[in-house]
């Protein structure tokens, strides 16, 4: 195996509300010249590379350990830039752009010739989004080029919602990290395929299906995990897996809680160090258990649960637990994305 060249990864603190133009200029120059810069978006931290430089894009795949068959999302600073990235853009795309950009919605469209095929893993399509995080927008505007940005984690690991997560996965592999603190949404963007009619949600995310349907005029189908051939390689099972096995218990609240308690006690009695991802309501109902508990927030606040989820997984991983237990969540709204990430992080799903 050839050794990877290493880079002294520079971490720059930056104000999420008022990004320092000098730091932005430095990061933008690095990107333009083919460097790799991790930056915050409203969803998760992304690892940016100049989309027009094939060498930079290739380096990005290597740094992440990502297979070349997994296509990337192109990030743009202005809505009009969409025309340079995609072609044959349907009217509905512009209606969605008007409603949800900047924001956590990625549109899959036909790829424009300016975008190297490598970006889309050779597919004739391209995924595009305009993020709303002020640091991301400032960086994209200053770079002046479209920027590919997958989540800034090693391939297969949990997406990063804090700069520390990026550093843990990619230190020495990238030039720079812009650290603006935790990301406000916490789960990745919704990926909507507009090259098919009716449109299909390839990945539930920060924009809910209910919100999409108000603009589409119908409720789009959500591609089920691992159903049939993989249309979006990001939908591979266990894509978001933490390094520790996660057992996900699905079923009505009372039964799932009881099963969770029983499993935790059984595993602990075998000498296993158990990590529990619990909703605030469940902690009260379950009482003390021989486990390391991380609070995911209240079942009444899916936004808070989404924000905490990936950090919670990494916290338990770093705590050195042998196994993580969690229970699934209700349907609808943002819960769809949360449940999707829990399922993909799980090594075993138990229905009760
Ligand atoms: O919120 C997000 O989308 C974050 C931030 C950094 O913007 N990015 C992100 O990128 O999650 P990544 O690479 O981790 O996930 C991109 C997803 C994958 O599931 C990929 O397969 C899918 O988008 N995708 C990209 N291009 C596609 C295409 N042309 N057709 C179908 N799916 C595509
Ligand atoms: Mg990812």
27-58 pLDDT, tens digit each: 999 999 999 999 999 999 999 999 999 999 99
Is the pLDDT at 329 greater than 90? The verdict is no
Percent of the chain with pLDDT over 90: 90
Burial of 283 (0-12, 13-18, 19+ CB in 10 A): middle
Q: Please give the pLDDT value at position 330.
A: 82
Q: Using the structure block, give the residue that is written with the tokens 């300016």.
A: 114
Provide the pLDDT for residue 161.
98
Q: Give the residue carrying structure tokens 């589409």.
A: 216
Q: What's the pLDDT score for residue 239? A: 55
Residue 92 is classified by DSSP as: H
Minimum CA distance residue for ligand 1 atom 29: 126
Integer CA distances (angstroms), 351 to 250, 255, 341, in order: 5, 10, 17
Give the position, in ligand 1's atom list, of the atom nearest the Cα of 188: 1
Using alpha carbons, select from 120, 118, 139, 122 the residue that is nearest to residue 130: 139
Q: Which protein residue's CA is at the shortest distance from atom 19 of ligand 1?
A: 234
CA of 191 to the centre of ligand 1 (A): 7
340/89 Cα distance (integer angstroms): 29
Ligand nearest to the CA of 106: 1
**Is the pLDDT at 113 greater than 60, yes or no?**
yes
Q: Is the pLDDT of residue 236 over 50?
A: no
In the prediction, which pLDDT does 240 show? 60
Looking at the predicted structure, is the pLDDT value of residue 221 above 80?
Answer: yes
Q: According to the model, what pLDDT value does residue 60 have?
A: 98
The rounded percent of the chain whose pLDDT value lies above 70 is 94
Is the distance from the beta carbon of residue 46 to the nearest atom of ligand 1 less than 6 Å?
yes
Output the pLDDT for position 235: 45
Q: Residue whose CA is closest, atom 15 of ligand 1? A: 150
Between CA 182 and CA 196 the distance in angstroms is 35
The rounded distance, in Å, linking the Cα atoms of 164 and 166 is 5
pLDDT at 1 over 60: no
Q: Which residues surround ligand 2, an ion (CB under 5 A)?
A: 151
- Given a cut of 80, whether residue 85 has pLDDT beyond it is yes
Closest CA to 13 of 141, 135, 173: 135
Residue whose Cα lies nearest atom 21 of ligand 1: it is 234
Range 269-295 average pLDDT: 96
Query: Could you say which DSSP state residue 118 is in?
Result: G
Whether residue 250 has pLDDT greater than 70: yes
DSSP state of 80: G
Helical (H) or strand (E) element with 32 = helix 21-32
Instruction: Give the whole-angstrom CA distance, residue 93 versus residue 96.
Output: 5
pTM for this structure? Answer: 0.95
The answer, yes or no, to whether residue 260 has pLDDT greater than 50, is yes
Cβ(72) to ligand 1 under 6 A?
Answer: yes
Give buried/exposed letters for 83-99 (b at 16+ CB in 10 A, else e).
ebbbeebeebbeebbee
- Estimate to the nearest angstrom the gap between the alpha carbon of 338 and the chain centroid: 11
């Amino acid at each position: 195996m050839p050794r990877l060249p290493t880079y002294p990864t520079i971490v720059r603190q930056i104000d999420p509300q008022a990004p320092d133009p000098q730091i932005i200029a430095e990061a933008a120059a690095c990107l333009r010249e083919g460097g790799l810069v991790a930056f915050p978006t409203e969803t998760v931290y992304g690892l940016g590379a100049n989309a027009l430089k094939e060498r930079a894009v290739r380096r990005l795949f290597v740094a992440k350990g990502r297979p070349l068959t997994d296509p990337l999302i192109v990030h743009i600073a202005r809505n009009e830039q969409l025309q340079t990235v995609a072609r044959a853009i349907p009217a509905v795309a512009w209606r969605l752009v008007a409603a949800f950009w900047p924001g956590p919605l990625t549109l899959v469209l036909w790829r424009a010739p300016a975008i190297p095929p490598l970006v889309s893993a050779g597919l004739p399509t391209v995924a595009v989004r305009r993020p709303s995080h002020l640091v991301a927008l400032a960086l994209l505007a200053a770079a002046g080029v479209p920027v590919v940005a997958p989540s800034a984690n090693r391939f297969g690991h949990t997406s990063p919602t804090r700069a520390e997560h990026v550093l843990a996965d990619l230190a020495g592999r990238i030039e720079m990290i812009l650290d603006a603190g935790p990301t406000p949404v916490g789960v990745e963007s919704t990926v909507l395929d507009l090259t098919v009619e009716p449109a299909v949600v390839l990945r539930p995310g920060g924009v809910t299906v209910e919100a999409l349907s108000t603009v589409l005029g119908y409720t789009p189908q959500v591609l089920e995990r691992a159903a049939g051939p993989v249309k979006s390689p990001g939908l591979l099972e266990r894509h978001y897996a933490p390094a520790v096995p996660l057992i996900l218990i699905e079923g009505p609240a009372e039964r799932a809680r009881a099963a969770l308690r029983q499993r935790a006690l059984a595993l602990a009695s075998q000498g296993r160090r158990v990590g529990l991802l619990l909703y605030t309501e469940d902690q009260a109902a379950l009482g003390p258990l021989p486990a390391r508990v991380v609070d995911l927030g209240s079942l009444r606040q899916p936004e808070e649960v989404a924000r905490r989820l990936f950090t919670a997984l990494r916290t338990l991983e770093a705590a050195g637990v042998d196994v993580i237990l969690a229970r699934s969540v209700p349907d609808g709204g943002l819960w769809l994305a949360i449940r999707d990430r829990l399922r993909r992080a799980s090594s075993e799903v138990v229905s009760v």
